A and B are shown apart, each in its own frame.
Chain A
Amino acid sequence: MSYPLDDLVATISGDYARIRRLRWVGVALLIALLFAVPYVIQNFTWIDITMSILIFALAAVAFNVLLGYTGLLSFGHAAFFGGAAYAVALAMKYAGITEFFLLMPIGILAATVLSVVIGWISVRHTGTYYALLMLALAQMLFVVANQLSSITGGSTGIRVANPTVLGVDFVEQLGYLDYLSGIYYYLIVFIVVVSLVLLWALMKSSFGLTLRAIREDAQRAQSVGIPVKRFRWYATIVSGSFTGIAGVLFAFKAGHITPASALYWLVSGEIAIMAILGGIGAFLGPAAGAFIFLVIEKYATEFVGGYWMFVQGILLLAVVLYFQEGVIAGLKRTLTRALDLLPMTDRAPESTDMEENK
């Protein structure tokens, strides 16, 4: 005899095969929802926030390639984010390139070059040294951007004009607002979805498995012949490059970038917090974290005013101390525990295998 509640419980807690199928439905639904946003939500503020969420979701998921999959914490991702943004801004200003699909590869290239160099230096170490080395090198970039004011505009930053998309100047055609919430919004959705799919495929491949092996036990991985340092370097390059994509999207959205908005350590910190908040164990966990973070930020800044850093600190501390798997997994755990309290819930044991997570 099958109790209805058992089915519900089985679905939620133990029956991962069924969840996995449902998950694809969920993803498709989400993408459809994203496409519908500009039509459903007329309030531009929320469209703006959705764009930010998408951009930082990508940055956070890319960041997680290093933390969740390879076990490396980086405090310097602003270098890739801001580096790509500045590359695009400078290319527009000095090389006169205006086409989005030419500028995006330039931005990615900049981020890739930076991650190759910074990664090469940083993977000599792990843990603290890696994290703070990335921070120091990113800060070096910040200082350079700040100082070379004749080229980069210094602390006042540099304006980023609106790009042409596939040769068409939509701003001229539709006006700025319609371009932003219409054309550019969909561009962001498209780029972010494609990037996430690519990243996901990478992480599912043997490359991703190798990274996870390194995270689990680097010594053992080394002893079975995996060149650990080399793969950590590759992970940094992948992570940095995809973060760069987010940086390019950010540059065009913001219209104006400064060292403080794109290269500063707080940007690195925010990306890290988003990833951890949402959960580093799941591929899309950091994306959820970006959503949670930006929504909380919107409301927190209304209540707490200028002391948002304090709130961020509390959130991060709470997650580190209590919800170490992040909000998503923590919720899952709490839900299954709550269901345990109900009678007649004879559920299958919860799978703790990391492979099962997305």
Chain B
Amino acid sequence: MANILSSQLSLVISALNFAAIVFLLGYGLSLLFNSLNFMNLAHASFFSIGAYLTAALGLLLVGSLSGLPGVVVTLVAVLLVVPVAITLLSFVLKETVLDRLNELDEPSQLLGTFAVLFILEDSVRYVWGTGTIRAEMLSNMLGSIPIGATSVSGTMVFSIVIGVVAVGALSVMFSRSKIGKIISALSENPEIVSVAGINARFVHFQIYAISTTLAAVGGLLWVMNFGITIGLTLQFVLLAFAVMVIGGVGSLRGAIIAALMIGFIRTYGVRYLGGFEMAIVFLIMAVVIIIKPTGIGGAQAQ
């Protein structure tokens, strides 16, 4: 009995872990599309590069400080540096290419960001090669946490914690902060921003920052859990899209539910169906599109 419980528990933790990561990946895309009407396929690249950067940083930092303070400092450092770096990258891309694509029609946006994805992908390959990069030093730092008869990976718990924190922070942002209210207004009426005397450009930067930070942190968690290689970008694009579609564009609540669904399907799928789990995710997405095209959370709801 205890064995079944503990194996189920580790499956649940795995599922929640994957859900947290997928939420971070997908909600950024959803937010960007909802408030700026910009479908950025290269969003998955931010996730991916975040993963690579985290691994690189991990190599640098781990071992320099020991003990619990060392762990905390290293994690905080990575959590700060990686999102900031990727956000800066996104700003550069925004100013050079993405803003111009944003003005074009939808197919052009898709094609243009698809091109950016290609460019970033090969650039990453140039720097890091085609092998799998892992961040074991970071995940080893977190060790495992014993629960009852079994133990649970510290990294997974960490991911779940980060996921919860992110959801909390976003909820607070939308309900209390100025930028949150602006974003909600934007999705309903894009012109209201310039009319109400708000600096539209600054708002755009903030939205990019939020969206990219979420993706970068997601990538950070991904590499700590699974390692990263370049062939995965398509999976990231589709996962992000699945979260957006199943959850409903712009809907925070929907994205959470979608991420949980995907997390559990994938985890139990891998365990019991081996290999077909992604196909099932796509199937669910197709079903949702047929039955309720606006997604679980509905369009433009927060």
Contact = CB atoms under 8 A, between A and B. Distances in A.
Q: Do A and B bind each other?
A: yes
Interface of A: 67, 71, 73, 75, 121, 124-125, 127-129, 131-133, 135-137, 139-140, 143-144, 146-147, 265, 269, 272, 276, 306-310, 312-317, 320-321, 324
A139 B231 CA distance: 13
A137 B112 contact: no
| Top-6 shortest CB links A-B | A313-B118, A310-B122, A313-B119, A316-B115, A317-B115, A127-B106
A332 to B, nearest CB: 20
A133 B286 contact: yes
A139 B238 CA distance: 9
Given A136-B238, A313-B119, A128 B110 contact: yes
B221 to A, nearest CB: 23
Interface stretch (B2-10, B64-72, B274-282): B274-282
Contact of B111 (A276, A306, A310): A276
A317 B289 contact: no
A324 B108 CA distance: 9
Nearest to A133: B289
B158 to A, nearest CB: 30
Nearest to B104: A320
A298 to B, nearest CB: 18
B107 A67 contact: yes
A137 B286 contact: yes
A107 to B, nearest CB: 23
B111 A272 contact: yes
Interface string B113-150: 01111110111011000000000000000000000000
Contacts of A125: 289, 293
Contacts, number: 117
12 contacts: A67-B107, A75-B110, A125-B293, A127-B107, A127-B110, A133-B285, A136-B282, A147-B275, A147-B279, A310-B119, A316-B114, A317-B116
B283 A73 contact: no
Interface in B71-118: 97, 100-101, 104, 106-108, 110-112, 114-118
B59 interface: no
A317 B112 contact: yes
Contacts of A144: 276, 279
Contacts of A137: 282, 286
Chain B interface bracket (under 10, 10 to 19, 20 to 34, 35 or more):
35 or more
B242 interface: yes
Given A67-B107, A121-B286, A309 B121 contact: yes
A215 to B, nearest CB: 11
B112 A320 contact: yes
A310 B275 contact: no
A320 B111 contact: yes
A31 to B, nearest CB: 31
Contacts of A135: 237-238
Given A131-B110, A307-B125, A320-B111, A140 B279 contact: yes
Nearest to B117: A313
A309 B242 CA distance: 25
Contact of A140 (B112, B125, B283): B283
Interface in B12-62: 33, 39
Contact of A143 (B241, B242, B275): B275
B245 interface: yes
Contact of A139 (B115, B121, B282): B282
A309 B122 contact: yes
Contacts of B100: 321
B234 interface: yes
Output the residue of A121, A135, A272, A317 with the most chain B CB within 10 A: A317
B87 to A, nearest CB: 22
B290 interface: yes
B122 A307 contact: yes
A60 B110 CA distance: 18
A307 B126 contact: yes
A121 B289 contact: yes
A230 to B, nearest CB: 16
A348 B33 CA distance: 44
Given A140-B278, A316-B111, 19 more contacts: A75-B110, A121-B286, A127-B106, A128-B33, A129-B245, A132-B237, A136-B286, A140-B279, A147-B275, A147-B279, A272-B111, A307-B122, A307-B126, A308-B122, A310-B119, A310-B123, A313-B115, A316-B115, A317-B112
Contacts of A317: 97, 112, 115-116, 119
Contact of B241 (A136, A307, A310): A136
Contacts of B118: 269, 309-310, 312-313, 316
B101 A320 contact: yes
A306 B121 CA distance: 12
A132 B245 CA distance: 10
Given A140-B279, A269-B114, A313 B122 contact: yes
Nearest to A73: B107
A121 B282 CA distance: 12
Contacts of A306: 125
A354 B106 CA distance: 20
B282 A140 contact: yes
A314 to B, nearest CB: 6
Contacts of A75: 110, 114
Contacts of A313: 115-119, 121-122
A126 B108 CA distance: 14
A169 B110 CA distance: 46
A321 B282 contact: no
Contact of B234 (A121, A131, A139, A276): A139
